[in-house]
Structure 1
């Protein structure tokens, strides 16, 4: 058996190797050289191509009803990024058609997010009404404190698990409308936060906060990764899915970024930093070139890029990570325009690594549009830093000179020095504190807040511990279903060729049961370590782990970096 000293030494060596920088020298084209005007034209042409392929019902022929909602959201995002109202009338017609197809946009609740983005773009109250309709529909599938207390939910035909690891399940949203599907997620922060921003209604802000609470206490693991879901059915032992997918991180980051814009809460920014550091270098869904290539078909990920874009445009992270984030988005944009299309066709393929496609697919096109629209806000240099926060209606950025080569060298040198300093920090903490926590789940506390009509946005804190909220608000399942929808699109990709249009005979996105591979995640499960962590993040993480638990002489050091 390895001694504790050997394990500590190994941890410190790994720290020195990974603390230098988040940006990899092997990344493919992390700089933006395409002019802003050209980026706008490229994204606009891709949008117009997709619009021309909509059917008479303003849906993509042969695709599930939910796919178009992603596209509608992107149309609004394009007008926001370019500070115009070019597509306002188009979207009014599209939403009218969609509302007639399904009352309250039921089942495919990503329409609520799209409507909220359209309201942010145009301030037209009809879009706000659509978003609120969707939100209230999602309320039905969210566990309130009353549901938890009674042990039942009107949306499901099984008894409800009241607590997991001693923490309430209130705030979780069922990821499927099927009455027997037990899986809860918390990815409802997006539309709730957008509505809170649009209306200043504390109910929506509390709902978004409750969703963040649920994620952090039940789905957020020791490596700052967002797990897919947890069973809300009694006697399931709070079974967790083992799935770690990029879209979950993207959805959470989008919601948290909006919350940070509203509240300015430093704890939210710290959580965003943690997720970014765990997500950007994650080799589970990309190669050494940094191009997102997830799953067997090596596809890009709409939700991840969209979430990262929201973090970037809202300036919701630290300046250093903001620069890294801009470079990462630039990689995706450059890959899409270089490798996923050809001959000015404005048609994009399934994989951002290529080959290009000559056959239009609404799924592929919306996937690529996330990178094309996301790049509009980037500067034409490698720093990609903007001077201050941007609102959802911010105008396009201007260009700045490229940075000098010396800044990168200084970053590397500073990282190495920081890694050396970390040795002393870890040694001191280990020698004098001699405490650790083996699992984030065992130390997590509910991050609930007390709601009142008089509370201000800045007082809503989703990261207070040791508090109990007497009031719980229903949370829309829109973001949850949005995550499942994109996962379902990925599964469809696996069943078709890269250029083929999916079969219209397949089941609707929301009628599919949750993936069957479910297991109970052990308390001390060791998951893959992110490829690179900045020094300050490692110090903070280690100090956090050493809090609150006595250490026994016979125990080994923490196992989070093995």
Structure 2
């Protein structure tokens, strides 16, 4: 499978589909910074400073507001949001051990990744320590090679599913009886591990990222390749193969891009290209015009609203790393064009002043916290990738 995917990475068509809606942009960098900051400033009145949450969205989604704010400063080369980001990431870490409010390992890692982005943007080593603390905590829910039990679960399970090793899979919940091993939790662990490997040089993080990257590749990747959702450790049953969500593919893509820069192993770069290309052109969450339709919910919040923000953040990370390497111009242009499609849709079809609908294809509507959340990563991505 590794060789097949590597071959596909070079053989595939990385061209921009001509059916995509408005895949260029002529706005200045200064204008894009202004748009991005205005979108962040529009969501900030929803902040509860005691809890670090935002009215109208859930805990995991709130963590991603802080990620967008840290990344805005990082991409723009500013420190406008430093005081708020650092204060709230420290505050919430103090409220919930390992950032774990509800017993979900993915929740903990959404916040830990925000802490890493904060460290990257501002150099605050307390935030790096928070990210490392969560990694250590979640690592106790990772399946080791050959294992049929782990200390944090009260049941035994098969070391293989479908004849393939379960090593590197990460359990979704801390509940001792819950057997869900899913891609978003594993993808978050890959990404967090790879970032920590990049900044510390510690091989334990690199090895963890590789093991978990191999779990998704072995067990939870379809032929497109798009990342699937969940494998149940107890009986190896699966969620339906039609459960295709942007954030599963997005976290894997982001982790692979960082892992390649850490290891210089071209299998990860080639797999990232295949997955990024497939995800940007997937009909699972977009029509022929390329505008992402997932989570479009004008009347109520849903998780899918947050999913597509994660996906665009991965595209942003991929773009910046590919551009820095200078090793795949066709792919760089495709990533750039995809961000432009989403940017132009938001600004032209979904904008109501400085607030944005979660339905990126429109129509505009009054402010909702979830719609605003979904827009933030698009505007951050536009700072370099548009």
TM-score range, shorter chain: 0.7 to 0.9
Distance 1:88 1:209, change over 3 A: same
Tell me if the contact between 1:225 and 1:275 (Cα under 8 Å) persists in the aligned partners. Answer: yes
Q: Name the CA distance, whole Å, in 1 between partners of 2:210 and 2:284.
A: 29
**Match status 1:222 vs 2:223:** yes
Contact map agreement 2:296 2:359 (CA 8 A) in 1? no
> What's the CA shift for 1:46?
0.9
* Counterpart mapping for 1:125-524 below 5 A: 125-145=125-145, 148-149=146-147, 151-185=148-182, 186-187=186-187, 188-233=189-234, 236-242=235-241, 243-294=243-294, 297=297, 301-315=308-322, 318-342=328-352, 344=353, 346-361=354-369, 363-378=370-385
| TM-aligned CA deviation for residue 157 of structure 1 | 2.6
Are the counterparts in 1 of residues 251 and 314 from structure 2 also a CA contact under 8 Å?
yes
Once the two structures are superposed, residues 213-257 of structure 1 have per-residue CA deviations (whole angstroms, 9 ceiling, x without a partner) of 111111122221211121111xx1453542222221111100001
Against the structure 1 CA distance between its residues 47 and 159, is the aligned structure 2 distance closer, same or farther, given a 3 Å change threshold? same
Change (3 A) 1:201 1:74: same
Q: 1:229 to 1:196 in 2, by over 3 A?
A: same
Q: Secondary structure at the match of 1:66?
A: helix
Confirm or deny: 8 A CA contact 1:313 1:377 kept in the other structure. yes
Distance of 2:197 and 2:262 partners within structure 1: 8
The structural deviation recorded for 1:20 is 6.8
Distance in 1 (alpha carbons) for counterparts of 2:173 and 2:97: 17
Distance 1:312 1:296, change over 3 A: closer
CA-based RMSD of the aligned residues comes to 2.1
Query: 1:48 aligns to what?
Result: 41
Contact 2:98–2:134, Cα closer than 8 Å, also in 1? yes
Deviations 1:250-303 (A, max 9, x none): 111000011112222211111112112321211121111110002674976111
Please state whether the residue corresponding to 1:230 is helix, strand or coil. strand
Question: Which structure's CA Rg is the greater one?
Answer: 1
Say yes or no: does 1:28 pair with 2:21: yes
Per-residue CA shift, 1:368-421, capped at 9, x if unaligned?
A: 111111011035xxxxxxxxxxxxxxxxxxxxxxxxxxxxxxxxxxxxxxxxxx
What TM-score does the superposition give when structure 2 sets the normalisation length? 0.86
Partner of 1:71: 65
Deviations 1:110-152 (A, max 9, x none): 111011111111111111111111112212221123xx43x22
Change (3 A) 1:118 1:20: closer
Work out whether 1:93 is the aligned partner of 2:82: no
Q: Distance in 2 between matches of 1:220 and 1:378?
A: 27
Q: 1:161-191: CA deviations, max 9, x gaps?
A: 2112333212100122333321213312111
- C-alpha distance in 2, partners of 1:214/1:130? 26
Query: 1-side partners of 2:176 and 2:263: how far apart?
Result: 36
Q: Return the offset for 1:54.
A: 0.5
For residues 506-534 of structure 1, give each alpha carbon's deviation from its aligned partner in whole angstroms, at most 9, with x where no partner exists: xxxxxxxxxxxxxxxxxxxxxxxxxxxxx
**Alignment length (residue pairs):** 354
What stretches of structure 2 of length at least 5 have no aligned partner? 1-10, 299-303
